[in-house]
Amino acid sequence: MSQILSQVMGQQMRLEQKLTPQLIQSMDILQLNVTALEARIDEELERNIVLESDEPASAATSTEETSEPTETPGEGEDAGSPESPSFDLPDRLGREYDLYYEDSWFPSRQRRSYDGERDAKMDAMANTAARPQSLAEHLLSQWALLDLDGETRRAGEAIIYSLEEDGYLRTHLEEVAEDTRPRIPVKLIEKALPLVQGLDPVGVAARDYQECLLVQLDALPGNNRIERELITNHLHDIARNRFPAVAKATGYTVGEISEAVKAISSTLHLHPAHLVIERQVPRITPDVIVEYADDSGRLLVRLTRGNTPNLRLSAHYQKLLKERNNGKDVRAFVRKHMENATALIDAINYRRSRLLDVAEAIVERQQDFFSMGPAGLRILRMSELAVQLECDPSTISRTVADKYMQTPRGIYPLRYFFTGGKESVNGESTSWDSVKARVKEIIEGEDRKAPLNDDQIAAVLESEELAISRRTVAKYRQQLAIPPARQRREY
């Protein structure tokens, strides 16, 4: 049986959807927040020679950019071509930092006379926040002042370097000893541990919450008999607000236990390291600003300055591309960078217009939020907004990703304004976030001696023509970090 393989040329029509590099770049730019966008633009300005920024420049820099390049002796005709660019960086640095000198290999000690203008770079360096002191540095500065022998000093340093960010020592002492070179005996580590725990703040290097509280309690004056017994034997019951059970086990009255718990919570800290070390909070830069335009209450939506960079194509390279006397390789090189720069500018403009459209639609739909707060949030889904703006829901998702809106009520993620919900008995739509805010209001207004359970909270909501199940109330209460009724009760 023979088989014949042959090749036949033919035509076939089919429909395909492909993502072009420009479309991929546009989607990538769309989901960047303002901080990442500024970093991306700076990167592109360094990479693409035909891309320029329209930001105001100093007089000297402006003169250099607009003046025609002059040919210096020894340079060829194509010195200004992309393949051999001419830079005046050393000359500019010399003028900027006063490094010119005569007949000497060392910078001149003569400084230029003060012309009455402040140095922007020096001001920026002076206003830059210093690196915060770490917990290890804070403890080592105290440890160095103690009169200790060499081995004990090394043991304490090993403990300090093994602490976690919250100040707890969760590494076993045997492992701490094993990591030292030369190895320190475990007995020396055990000897140095109480000394480290006594440093400021008292209670660091504790291995659990109970040890942390007891170390702090030992440093307080008085015997603190009730507090010590509660921490040693009944810390779990105290955390669950089981005061009657603790009173039955210890013989103290509920009032005495309540006062002791108040003393513990007011004087002792579960994370003493946070008292001296500043925790780094991520900086949030809003992409959208919403403010009142006038006394009429009309809201004005605008983008922050970083969302609207003034980018342009270099006139010099545009002229270079049109000149036919330049080589084919030179014009191809410039054309490629020109296309990339144009695609970047188009992507940024699309991001700006789409972000502004989405922000304006959010403000229009959530008008009640700006007057009433979270309780005024209305149901808003990305699919509904996509239909309104005639785009895909994934475009809305990319537009609001990692972006924030600064409002008269604070800074909120753009995703915060998209929420589901349900209709109440009278037909009004209520978002889940507004229900959650109402649950919090009900709990804050309850009688602490007889707090409401989840069934009672659901009954209150039902009386307000909003039928919510007990399970939903419990879920919202947990999301709000609110304990159940038994633990909220005050004795």
Residues 6+ apart with CB under 8 A from 482: 440, 443, 488
Asked if residue 412 has pLDDT above 90, the reply is: yes
Are 340 and 413 part of one and the same domain? yes
- Give the Cα separation of 35 and 42 in Å (integer): 11
pLDDT band for position 98 (cuts 50, 70, 90) = very low
| pLDDT digits 0-9 by tens, 369-401 | 888 888 788 888 899 999 999 999 999 999 999
Where are the alpha helices (H) located in 162-253, listed in sequence order?
A: 173-178, 186-197, 209-218, 225-233, 235-239, 243-250
**Contact (Cβ atoms closer than 8 angstroms) between residue 163 and residue 193:** no
CATH number at residue 459: 1.10.10.60
Q: Which residues pair with 430 in a beta bridge?
A: 422
Are 383 and 470 part of one and the same domain? no
pLDDT recorded at residue 199: 94
Q: Which residues pair with 413 in a beta bridge?
A: 404
Q: How far, in Å, are 83, 115, 158 from residue 182 at the CA level?
A: 57, 60, 12
- Answer whether residue 70 is part of any domain: no
Are 193 and 238 part of one and the same domain? yes
Structure-block tokens of residue 95: 């003028």
Average pLDDT over residues 108-137: 61
Average pLDDT over residues 132-153: 90
* Among 282, 281, 302, 433, residue whose Cα is nearest residue 363: 302
Domain boundary among 214, 249, 275: 275
pLDDT band for position 469 (cuts 50, 70, 90) = confident
Structure pTM? 0.60
- Give the Cα separation of 230 and 267 in Å (integer): 15
- Tell which wins on pLDDT, 17 or 155: 155
Average pLDDT over residues 245-272: 92
- Give the Cα separation of 94 and 348 in Å (integer): 36
Give the percent of the chain with pLDDT over 70: 80
pLDDT recorded at residue 427: 54
Average pLDDT over residues 294-322: 84
Are 242 and 153 part of one and the same domain? yes
- Answer whether residue 27 is part of any domain: no
Average pLDDT over residues 292-314: 84
pLDDT recorded at residue 119: 62
Asked if residue 487 has pLDDT above 90, the reply is: no
Average pLDDT over residues 245-273: 91
Are 155 and 238 part of one and the same domain? yes
pLDDT band for position 127 (cuts 50, 70, 90) = low
Q: Cis (ω within 30 of 0) for the bond into 182?
A: yes
Are 353 and 222 part of one and the same domain? no
Are 395 and 455 part of one and the same domain? no
- Answer whether residue 189 is part of any domain: yes
Asked if residue 424 has pLDDT above 90, the reply is: no
Give the percent of the chain with pLDDT over 90: 39
pLDDT recorded at residue 70: 35
- Answer whether residue 383 is part of any domain: yes
> What kind and span of H or E run contains 440?
helix 432-444
* Among 457, 461, 453, residue whose Cα is nearest residue 488: 453
Domain boundary among 398, 417, 436: 417
Asked if residue 262 has pLDDT above 60, the reply is: yes
pLDDT band for position 157 (cuts 50, 70, 90) = very high
**Contact (Cβ atoms closer than 8 angstroms) between residue 99 and residue 107:** yes
Give rounded-to-5 percent helix, strand, coil for the chain. 50, 5, 40
Are 316 and 405 part of one and the same domain? yes
Asked if residue 22 has pLDDT above 90, the reply is: no
- Give the Cα separation of 380 and 429 in Å (integer): 10
Are 147 and 265 part of one and the same domain? yes
Are 404 and 430 part of one and the same domain? no
What rounded mean pLDDT belongs to the chain? Answer: 81
Residue indicated by tokens 């926040």: 129
- Answer whether residue 38 is part of any domain: no
**Contact (Cβ atoms closer than 8 angstroms) between residue 341 and residue 48:** yes
Domain boundary among 417, 443, 470: 417
- Answer whether residue 85 is part of any domain: no
Stretch among 104-108, 263-267, 455-459 having the lowest mean pLDDT: 104-108
pLDDT recorded at residue 107: 39
pLDDT band for position 403 (cuts 50, 70, 90) = very high
pLDDT recorded at residue 175: 92
Are 329 and 292 part of one and the same domain? yes
Where are the alpha helices (H) located in 109-163, listed in sequence order?
A: 120-127, 135-143, 150-161
- Tell which wins on pLDDT, 438 or 10: 438
Asked if residue 335 has pLDDT above 50, the reply is: yes
Structure-block tokens of residue 6: 């042959």
What single-letter DSSP state applies at residue 281?
P
Stretch among 70-74, 185-189, 318-322, 476-480 having the lowest mean pLDDT: 70-74
Are 329 and 343 part of one and the same domain? yes
Asked if residue 76 has pLDDT above 50, the reply is: no
pLDDT recorded at residue 145: 93
- Answer whether residue 5 is part of any domain: no
Give the range of the structural domain holding residue 141, as residue numbers without chain letter.
135-275
Tally the domains of the chain: 3
| pLDDT digits 0-9 by tens, 43-59 | 999 999 888 887 654 33
- Answer whether residue 270 is part of any domain: yes
* Among 226, 230, 206, residue whose Cα is nearest residue 216: 206
Looking at mean pLDDT, say which of 6-10, 51-55, 191-195 comes out highest: 191-195
| pLDDT digits 0-9 by tens, 216-248 | 999 998 888 999 999 999 999 998 889 999 999
pLDDT recorded at residue 207: 94
